[in-house]
Structures are given as structure tokens and as C-alpha cells.
Amino acid sequence: MAELEKFKMAIGGQWVGAASGETFESYNPYTAQPWAEIPKGAAADVDAAVEAAYQAGRPGSEWRSMTASARGALLQKFGDALLEAADHLGEMETRDNGKLIAEMGVQCKYLTQWYQYYGGLCDKIEGSVIPIDKPATFNYTVWEPLGVVACIVPWNSPLLLLTWKLAPLLAAGNTAVIKPSEYTSVSTLEFMKVVEQVGFPPGVINVVTGFGADVGAPLVEHPKVAKVAFTGSDTTGTQIYQAAAKHMKHVTMELGGKSPNIVFDDAEVDNAVKGAISGIFAATGQTCIAGSRLLVQESIHNEFVDKLVALAKTAKMGDPMNMDTQVGPVTNIPQFEKILDYIDIAKGEGAEAVLGGAKANSLECGDGWFVEPTIFTGVKNSMRIAQEEVFGPVLSVIPFKDEEEAIEIGNDVVYGLAAGVWTQNIRRAMIMADRLEAGTVWVNTYRAVSYMSPFGGYKQSGIGRESGQEMIKEYLQQKCVWISTATEVPNPFVLR
């Protein structure tokens, strides 16, 4: 076995191991072999990182003393540096989580846009002067940073989902302690080398690696953490929300999804088929916005499924480092086993696997954790396979009669992250967009995101928004200042 690559945590501008000296292994999903050694952090490491972030963000510190324009220039410089490092970071992510290098290379280059965008927004954060109704009084507002923000990041797109949090929180003047997933810590640690290169003041950005109980829990509960920004499952999100509430911490949560991808009989069928494939088999279905419920109008159901299966059969599985690979491995063993369990559940519920439905055993998949692209028909929306997030390449096809039934089925789930609508009828598109309970509705496209556009969910899919201009206020708090110019204080026993 090859010697493991060894990594350190970043705390207070220093590269350090865990205080305990303990480490754990990170696995390459394609080879199913360990390749990296990661520090196994614990509460002592969390304390050190939070204290470093707290001190770095105190009034009078180098970071807090920067003008907004200077802070913005640093963020934009950081964006430029990330662009230069994008190929390397993309390779690290692919090696650590198995996502396609064809996507990760592009995705890591796209990161720079968030830092450029929010860097430009730094000196546009303005308060207001209020024409108050009290005589001899000057009243105004300012926006101030919250303080230390805990960023808890999942394993499916570590750097992208970190950036959605980090760029705006830095633009707002906060500091950060990052906890990457224990399955995919490497790219975040490599990312910190770019932070060091650019010259952020020590302690502004920190990373503690380890497991949820050892690092995540003490980080969420730490009294000096002002906000928790989390992306992950709704089960874990609920636990974090409850823990954060004990200390009245601010939260932003982007949680699970069971998104409906709805195809009407007037859709451009070939485009809709591609949209359905993109919605569920891109990223091996390991994405919160996966269009895992495909709703197809009855009049075109059979024709559509035939074309869908025919195209899905052509998907090339194999080494995610190859540019022509289209479906890569599942990121970790627990998720791999969970997906196979859900496939068995679906079969037990009476759904029919018209494609896939098992572990992939082709030569191209080697020893990796691969699941065949799977399509189930005969699915009822009440089935577990239609109600619960699988987070894998498993699609449930559900027929519907008309707009009303499509809306009823689409909304009949506890999640509300995203939805897709395929139609050439603008009236129908507008009605569906209006009535679907989802934070994002795509019409004649799917799985599109931008630093300019807010992203987040309804219902159990989360709280708050990421990206877009307005969401920077998720990382700010408003202060109101009253200045009296009166020459005499009025009756002190009466509310002014």
C-alpha cells in the first residue's frame, strides 16, 4: 500500500495536528483505498480555533480595522488566487469524494466569482438616516458583523458549499471556523494554503477536521460562536438547530430535498430527457437539488420513459479522473450501503426497476463504490422511495394527469428545495412556478446555480438563503443609534 499523504489543520495562522495527536484516514472512492491522513480534532482544537477567530475579529484587530474597501480588495485578490489553484483543488476534490474531474475543474474555477462578487459588495453595505418623529433627535442605523461563524460543510461539493458561506461572511467582516466532512477534508485544507498565500490576518479563517460528535457538536455549542452556517441532512440540521437555539445563535441551513422534475406533454421531449438525466445522474445523484422524483404526464409517460432509459444506458461509468466519465462512485461506504438499501426498499414496495437496481460490477468501476444508474417506474408518491432522500443515482418516475395533480404530487413531501418544469406553455410555466413550494424553480433547465441568485429551501429544506446580493444580511446585525441634540432632558419618568 502506498504511503498516506499527511495533512495538518489550520488554526490561528498555524499548521497544526490535533492536540491529542490522533489521526484518521480519508478514502479514495474510486479505489476504495485510504490515501490521506487527517488530524482527528476534538473539543480542545475547537476551543483553540474559536478563540483564534474571536480574537481576530475583535474591535481594534487587523481584520476589524480594515476599511470595507480594503477588505473587498483582499477578497478579490483571493478570488484571483483561487482561479490559479483551481485545477489542483479540483483534482483534490475528485480524489477525495469521487466527483467527476470534468465537473470539479469547472466548479473550482467558478468559485472565484463568489469572492469577486462579494468583494465588490463589501463597501456597499450601507446604513440609513431615519427622519425620526422625535424633535431634537438624530437617528441612524449601521450594519455590523455577527462575530465568529461556524461553517459546517458536507462531502458532496465541499469547496463550492463552503464558498457560499465564506465569501459573504468575510465580506460582512466576520471570522470563520470551518468543519469539513470527515469524508472530504483534503480540499479544504489545500484551500487554506491559498488563504495563507493571499495574506488574510491570522485567525480570520480556521479549519478543524474530525467527526461530528468530536468537532461539530462542541463547535455548534461554543459560547463564542455567533452563527452556524450548515449544509447537510435535515436530521443533522434539526440537531444543530436545537443546539444553536440554546445560545440564541443565528443559523443558516441548507438541508435535504426530494425535488419534483415535472414534464408536461407539450415539452421538448429530448431536452426534458436530458434535464431528467442531469437532475438525477449528474454528480451520481449526490446533490441536495437532485430531481429524484420525475413526474411525467400520462399521455407521454411510456414514450418518455423509453427515451430516458435509452439515454441513461449510455452513461459511461468509471474513473472520475477521466474527462469522458459521466457517472462516478459514491463518496463513502455508509452512503453506498444506504443507496442499495433504498433500492431494496423500492423493490419491496412494488416499484419496478426498468434500469439498474444494483451495485455496479463492470471492469471500469474497479473496486470502487459504484451504484448503477437506477430508474423505477410504478412509483406512488406515498412510497418511501418517493418521500425520503436517497442521495444517490436512483430515480422515481410518477405519472400525473394534469396541472392540478402535478402540483399536488410535487408539493406532497416534507421538503421544498427545488423543482423543475418542462413545458412550452408560458402560462403553465408561470402557474407552476407560482404554486410549487420550492426555493428554486427551474423552467426548461435544471441544476443551474449562480453567485447572483439566492438559493435555499422551503419547509424542511432549510432556513435562510445563500448567494445573491440580499443574503449578505444573513451575516450582519443591525444597530440603531439615537443622538439627542436637546438642550434639556425632558420628564425622565415618561417614555420619549
Q: 266, 233, 219, 285: which is closest to 422 by C-alpha?
A: 266
Phi-psi group of 318: left, alpha or beta (phi > 0 → left; psi -120 to 50 → alpha; rest → beta): left
* Integer CA distances (angstroms), 417 to 295, 433, 442, 460, 461, in order: 16, 13, 11, 8, 5
pLDDT the model gives residue 1: 62
Q: 472, 478, 469: which is closest to 142 by C-alpha?
A: 478
Q: In the β-sheet with 137-145, what is the strand arrangement from edge to edge?
A: 128-130, 137-145, 476-484
| Residue whose C-alpha cell is 418623529 | 133
CB 476 within 8 A of CB 125: yes
Within 8 A by CB and 6+ apart from 245, the residues are none
Classify burial at 446, counting beta carbons within 10 Å of its beta carbon; exposed 0-12, middle 13-18, buried 19 or more: buried
Integer Cα distance of 140 and 273 in angstroms: 54
Integer Cα distance of 459 and 104 in angstroms: 30
Q: Which of 93, 254, 389, 403 is catalytic?
A: 254
Backbone angles phi, psi at 113, to 5 degrees: -65, -35
Does residue 151 carry a catalytic annotation? Answer: no
Q: Which of 151, 288, 466, 474 is catalytic?
A: 288
Backbone angles phi, psi at 202, to 5 degrees: -55, 135
CA atoms 337, 339, 341, 344: torsion sign:
negative
CA atoms 205, 208, 213, 219: torsion sign:
negative
Q: Kindly compute the dihedral angle of the four CA atoms of residues 149, 150, 154, 159, in this order, to the nearest 10 degrees.
A: 50
Integer Cα distance of 278 and 285 in angstroms: 9
**Residue 205 forms beta bridges with which residues?**
176
How many Cα atoms sit within 13 Å of 27 on the Cβ side? Answer: 15
Backbone angles phi, psi at 205, to 5 degrees: -130, 125
CB 111 within 8 A of CB 78: no
* Integer CA distances (angstroms), 131 to 85, 124, 139, 243, in order: 49, 21, 7, 40
**Helical H segments across 122-157, by residue range:** none
CB 225 within 8 A of CB 150: yes
Assign 399 to helix, strand or coil. Answer: strand
pLDDT of the chain along its 496 residues, tens only?
679 999 999 999 999 999 999 999 999 999 999 999 999 999 999 999 999 999 999 999 999 999 999 999 999 999 999 999 999 999 999 999 999 999 999 999 999 999 999 999 999 999 999 999 999 999 999 999 999 999 999 999 999 999 999 999 999 999 999 999 999 999 999 999 999 999 999 999 999 999 999 999 999 999 999 999 999 999 999 999 999 999 999 999 999 999 999 999 999 999 999 999 999 999 999 999 999 999 999 999 999 999 999 999 999 999 999 999 999 999 999 999 999 999 999 999 999 999 999 999 899 999 999 999 999 999 999 999 999 999 999 999 999 999 999 999 999 999 999 999 999 999 999 999 999 999 999 999 999 999 999 999 999 999 999 999 999 999 999 999 999 999 999 888 998 8
Beta strands (DSSP E) in 1-136 are 5-6, 9-11, 14-16, 23-28, 33-39, 128-130
